[in-house]
Amino acid sequence: MNILVTGGAGFIGSHITDALIEAGHKVAVVDNLSSGTKEYINKAAAFYEFDVRDGERLLSLCEEEQFDAVFHEAAQTQVPYSQTYPQIDADENIMGLLSVLESARKTGVKRVVFSSSAAVYGDNPNVPLREDAPVAPTSFYGLSKVVSEQYLQMYHKVFGLEYIILRYANVYGERQGIHGEGGVVYVFSTALAAGKKLTVFGDGEQSRDFVYVKDVAQANLAALQGDVRPGIYNIGTTVETTVNALKEILFYLSGVTTAVYYDDVRNGDIIRSALDNCKAKAQLHWRPHTKLIPGLTSTYAYFAEEASRE
């Protein structure tokens, strides 16, 4: 298939691009490099550096290429930033998606795969959450994902554009940067590799569902299967890990123990988070293959190697 990946220079988008190319697809990446890294883009992909909100440019690329599918990863991904700049967050995330949807429907794209987030559920303690749990975001970022999901559903209703919404849990792995939602693995790993103290927001007993980036890339690939019905799919492990437990695991894996500073809870942060993945298992035929310890082992090795080169 001929595929467009927006945000393909970013953490998750670059892994999706790799997985698509490995599976034999032709891939084009559109990225404005606002948080992405050019070197992460697979050499076999065509790269176009521009903002997805540039509707004219995006439409002409889609007309030329006649993409079969679009993976939309380009976004503003930081919860705290969205709390300070809700308008910029909405512009990036909602207007960016609309630009992609307009180009997609006008050029006959068959399917749009969208990266949503566990942030749509807000602070619901009844974990692991299923897809039919009520949406109640606690941040503008989460709200932008809820609105985006509704736009995808409306484009399907009005124009027949097929969509697959993947609600990611906290994604971690190689190439993760400070920007990603699952940034705590990146922040702790790079701090430990540099022998610096760790900062924990709150008491550290807040939990997250850490899902490995290569498993997330495979979930995206699974969303291309012809028999997958338009809908919402959680992409997580169902396992809750507290930030304190994560810190202990990383102390162990790195062989480094540093001081820990407990700071105030951050505005918009969720207390418990874990996603039920039964629907993705049954309908996408996907499961997270990578357990936390092996995933963190390779992730920490990656950041330690990066730190040694600096």
Ligand X SMILES: NC(=O)c1ccc[n+]([C@@H]2O[C@H](COP(=O)([O-])OP(=O)(O)OC[C@H]3O[C@@H](n4cnc5c(N)ncnc54)[C@H](O)[C@@H]3O)[C@@H](O)[C@H]2O)c1
Question: Minimum Å distance from CB 246 to ligand X?
Answer: 14
Please say which residue, 75 or 232, places its beta carbon nearer to ligand X: 75
Q: Which is nearer to ligand X, 5 or 224 (CB)?
A: 5
Concerning whether 141 is annotated as a catalytic residue, the answer is yes
| Residue closer to ligand X (CB basis): 116 or 254 | 116
**Residue 208: CB minimum distance to ligand X, A:** 9
Distance in Å, CB of 142 to ligand X, minimum: 10
How near is the Cβ of 114 to ligand X at its closest, in Å? 8
Of 40, 121, 141, 168, which residue is the catalytic one? 141
Supply angle C-alpha 169, 275, 226, rounded to 5: 80
- Please report, as ranges, the residues that interact with ligand X according to CB under 6 A: 6-7, 9-13, 30-36, 51-53, 73-75, 77, 92, 96, 115, 117, 168, 170-171, 177, 179-182
Which residue, 36 or 161, has its beta carbon nearer to ligand X? 36
- Catalytic sites, residue numbers: 141
